């Protein structure tokens, strides 16, 4: 089963409450987290989940995310320059 995993029980509990109250959930996930599982599933991938990441995941992971209706957004690096 694909989804967002976490090993911190208090974080999982807080995230689940926020997800339940939200119309849309956005996770900022660096690419090293894709394809890894830990102790507990925070939420399965679903159409209300959007993940923003620095590097796209492998095709296998990307297919699982797309099949569940979740979205992946590739971030752009911030140069630190404004205006």
Residue in the structure block whose two tokens are 């797309």: 66
Q: Is residue 35 part of a domain?
A: yes
Percent of the chain with pLDDT over 70: 90
CA 57 to chain centre: 11
What pTM value is reported for the model?
A: 0.76
Q: Is residue 81 part of a domain?
A: no
Q: Per-residue pLDDT for 37 more than 90?
A: no
State pLDDT tens for residues 12-31. 999 999 999 999 999 998 87
The answer for residues whose C-beta is within 8 angstroms of residue 11's C-beta and 6 or more apart is 42
Q: Per-residue pLDDT for 7 more than 80?
A: yes
Q: Is residue 82 part of a domain?
A: no
Q: Per-residue pLDDT for 41 more than 80?
A: yes
Domain region containing 18:
3-74
Q: Is residue 9 part of a domain?
A: yes
Q: Is residue 83 part of a domain?
A: no
Q: Is 52 helix (H, G, I), strand (E, B) or coil?
A: strand
- Total structural domains in the chain? 1
């Amino acid at each position: 089963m694909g989804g967002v995993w976490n090993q911190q029980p208090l974080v999982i509990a807080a995230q689940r409450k926020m997800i339940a109250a939200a119309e849309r959930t956005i996770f900022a996930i660096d690419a090293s987290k894709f394809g890894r599982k830990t102790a507990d599933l925070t939420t399965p991938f679903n159409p209300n989940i959007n993940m923003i990441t620095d590097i796209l995941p492998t095709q296998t992971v990307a297919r699982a995310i797309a099949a569940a209706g979740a979205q992946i957004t590739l971030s752009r690096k911030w140069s630190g320059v404004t205006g």
